[in-house]
Chain A
Amino acid sequence: MLRDPIAVASGLFILAIVVVAAFAPFLAPYPPDAGSILTGNEGVSAAHWLGTDSFGRDLLSRLIYGARLSLLGPALIIAISTVVGTTLAIAAAWFGGWFDQVVSRIADILFAFPGLIFAMIAVAMFGTGLVAPVIALSISYTPYLMRVVRSAAIRQRALPYVSACYVEGLPGWRICLRHLLPNVAAILLVQATLSFGYALVDLAAVSYLGLGVQPPTAEWGLMVSEGQSAILAGHPQESLAAGMMIILTVVAFNLFGERLAARQAVED
């Protein structure tokens, strides 16, 4: 992995952006909501490296603070859907029978809802903010993770070492936790990494539509939409800068996930 320049570059980019998000107050030159309309829509200068938005807030600082929610949201979505999806998948592979049937049918129904539509129904029910879209998207990402892990776990379950453990008298939950889970972990990691990019785009789209976190919060999707009215006046910097951060982050996660998958294919 360390000899793969694409994997190293994308991995370093992901690491850098996580560090920036974590240490935002120390790295950002200004607080995210400091500014005056009098200095709105300024261009690039020594004081404001990326210029200011229409409220005169420093764009670089808002991008840095925006990294926090923009990454936290998809991280929560992937964490929840991975834990729930893996648990259900391994249980379905282990028990088989009606449990597997029921879980698979529920997954089929969830596949009928595009994630964004599901998130919008949730916002209509529970109101705007981070919580409703994150929970809705977690639910709609769960079947994707589940499907991949389930088929891997079913393949593992058929291998002789599982029967060997069973004959030794190990309890089922222990075989699942200590033997099945570690053996599907690599596939799980690839799927979670690739899904992160999609989750980031979906959640940013929810914010862009005005249904996620609300102004004056700094968040990339919201910044794209807040900057849109200034485009016609010839100040596209806010929308473009925030959009660029979304693209770069998604590209980094996709490339890293693809390299992980490629390495795994070689190992198999």
Chain B
Amino acid sequence: MTLRLLASRLAALAVTLLAASIVIYGALYLAPGDPATLLAGGHATPAVLAAIARQEHLNQPFFVRYWDWLTGVLHGNLGESFLYREQVTSLIAGRVLNTVFLVAYASVVIIVGGVALGLVAALRRRAGVAITVGTSIGMAMPSFVAAIILITIFAVNLKWLPVFGAGTGFTGRLSHLTLPAIALALSWLAFTAQLTRAAVREELGREHVQTAHSRGIRERRVVWRHVVRNAMIPISTVSGLTVAGLIAGDVVIEQAFSINGLGSFLVQSVLDKDFASVQAVALILVAAFVIVNGIVDFWSLLLDPRLRARTV
């Protein structure tokens, strides 16, 4: 049963990825102007354009070209950036780790911080009001505004943590990426906290919880065994989706903190009109987004048998 479900989900995932890749590759042909000029980055002599057209087989029909590009991508060849005269794969190789580290760091901050705040808000009435007000503001805060507030506090006044660059090694990255991870996580953390609070409050009012109380089971045990465990279903689904949302937010945060990662490379490539790099990085980010969404979707089906019964 579960295997069949997995197979159908994987098929849907593959179709979405394929369609997204056609859109990204097709952008080259939808853009005004001729594809060779776009790949060259705007300033190129006719001889260079002819060379690019030859090398990229631009005289071939669209789907032949697309197929070449796609099979290249699947073999780890993301194409050549004609601006840098270099393979995109080697241009991004040194940057991927910074991005992955940042997104993973922010995910941990969201899940740990959001669930903890939400639990406290649901179980302690007094703290609850303050947390609800705080998270309402946090949810409306764009990541780049959170970034400049953190930079203002830490670059000028506190100076505890570095505000620029990604650092090297694990500890270097950990300290350099702390503020970026917080800025990236903030609005999602607030969202997760509100969701956790609502889910826990709902579980607290359930009959089985009241029964547990009336049986004289200790408060702590009721909370952990009966409330938190059930509340975890919606929480894990939604916080998984927020992790997918981080992939777009990452672009902005890397730019704000001058982090040398995939996101800042994408921004630079767009400004440079380096089309091959834009396509490659956009494809990586969209694929990551789709795959994380797919995993979360499947995970929530595994976690909650009721959903499974409905979809199959």
Where the two chains meet, the residues of A that have a C-beta atom closer than 8 Å to any C-beta of B are: 108-109, 112-117, 120-121, 123-126, 197, 201, 204-205, 208-211, 221, 224-225, 227-228, 231-232, 234, 236, 239-240, 243, 246-247, 250-251, 254
**Separation of A71 and B88 alpha carbons in the complex (Å):** 37
**Separation of A89 and B142 alpha carbons in the complex (Å):** 30
Asked if B6 is an interface residue, CB under 8 A from chain A, the answer is no
Q: Is the interface of A mostly helix, strand, loop or mixed?
A: helix
Chosen A-B contacts, 16 in total, with CB atoms closer than 8 Å, are: A112-B17, A112-B286, A117-B285, A209-B252, A209-B255, A210-B267, A221-B144, A224-B145, A228-B151, A231-B148, A231-B156, A236-B148, A236-B152, A236-B156, A243-B148, A247-B137
Inter-chain contacts of B16 with A (CB < 8 A): 108-109, 112
Inter-chain contacts of B270 with A (CB < 8 A): 120, 123-124, 211
**Separation of A221 and B148 alpha carbons in the complex (Å):** 12
Asked if B275 is an interface residue, CB under 8 A from chain A, the answer is yes
Closest B residue to A205 by beta carbon equals: B252
Closest B residue to A123 by beta carbon equals: B270
Closest B residue to A252 by beta carbon equals: B140
What's the least CB distance linking A70 to chain B, in Å? Answer: 12
Q: Is the interface of B mostly helix, strand, loop or mixed?
A: helix
Q: Say yes or no: A234-B278 contact (C-beta < 8 A), given A112-B20, A126-B32, A239-B148.
A: no
What's the least CB distance linking B307 to chain A, in Å? Answer: 17
What's the least CB distance linking A258 to chain B, in Å? Answer: 10
Assess the B27–A121 pair: CB atoms within 8 A.
Answer: yes
What's the least CB distance linking B239 to chain A, in Å? Answer: 17
**Separation of A100 and B269 alpha carbons in the complex (Å):** 38
Asked if B289 is an interface residue, CB under 8 A from chain A, the answer is yes
Inter-chain contacts of A197 with B (CB < 8 A): 140
Inter-chain contacts of A234 with B (CB < 8 A): 156
**Separation of A204 and B148 alpha carbons in the complex (Å):** 14
Asked if B91 is an interface residue, CB under 8 A from chain A, the answer is no
Assess the B282–A121 pair: CB atoms within 8 A.
Answer: yes
Inter-chain contacts of A236 with B (CB < 8 A): 148, 152, 156
List 5 additional A-B contacts (Cβ < 8 Å) besides A109-B20, A113-B286, A228-B148. A114-B285, A120-B251, A124-B269, A211-B270, A247-B142
What's the least CB distance linking B260 to chain A, in Å? Answer: 16
Assess the B285–A109 pair: CB atoms within 8 A.
Answer: no
Assess the A243–B155 pair: CB atoms within 8 A.
Answer: no
In the complex, the 10 A-B pairs of residues with the closest C-beta atoms, listed nearest first: A114-B248, A243-B145, A125-B31, A250-B140, A236-B152, A116-B248, A251-B140, A109-B19, A239-B148, A124-B278
**Separation of A191 and B252 alpha carbons in the complex (Å):** 25
**Separation of A197 and B144 alpha carbons in the complex (Å):** 15
- Select the residue from B24, B145, B289 with max chain A CB neighbours within 10 A: B145
Contact-residue bracket for chain B: 35 or more
Asked if B247 is an interface residue, CB under 8 A from chain A, the answer is yes
Assess the A116–B145 pair: CB atoms within 8 A.
Answer: no
Closest A residue to B145 by beta carbon equals: A243
List residues of B (236-295) whose CB comes within 8 Å of A's CBs. Answer: 245, 247-249, 251-252, 255-256, 266-267, 269-271, 273, 275, 278, 282, 285-286, 289-290
**Separation of A104 and B282 alpha carbons in the complex (Å):** 23
Where the two chains meet, the residues of B that have a C-beta atom closer than 8 Å to any C-beta of A are: 16-17, 19-20, 23-24, 27, 30-32, 136-137, 139-145, 148-149, 151-152, 155-156, 245, 247-249, 251-252, 255-256, 266-267, 269-271, 273, 275, 278, 282, 285-286, 289-290
**Separation of A81 and B17 alpha carbons in the complex (Å):** 24
Closest A residue to B142 by beta carbon equals: A201
Assess the A240–B152 pair: CB atoms within 8 A.
Answer: yes
**Separation of A224 and B248 alpha carbons in the complex (Å):** 19
Inter-chain contacts of A126 with B (CB < 8 A): 31-32
**Separation of A247 and B152 alpha carbons in the complex (Å):** 17
What's the least CB distance linking B244 to chain A, in Å? Answer: 8
Which residue from B31, B140, B286 sits with its C-beta under 8 Å from A247?
A: B140
Assess the A254–B139 pair: CB atoms within 8 A.
Answer: yes
What's the least CB distance linking B291 to chain A, in Å? Answer: 10
What's the least CB distance linking B211 to chain A, in Å? Answer: 29
What's the least CB distance linking B113 to chain A, in Å? Answer: 20
**Separation of A109 and B32 alpha carbons in the complex (Å):** 23
Assess the B271–A208 pair: CB atoms within 8 A.
Answer: no
Which residue from A108, A121, A227, A254 sits with its C-beta under 8 Å from B278?
A: A121
Inter-chain contacts of A231 with B (CB < 8 A): 148, 151-152, 155-156
Assess the B20–A113 pair: CB atoms within 8 A.
Answer: yes
Closest A residue to B271 by beta carbon equals: A210
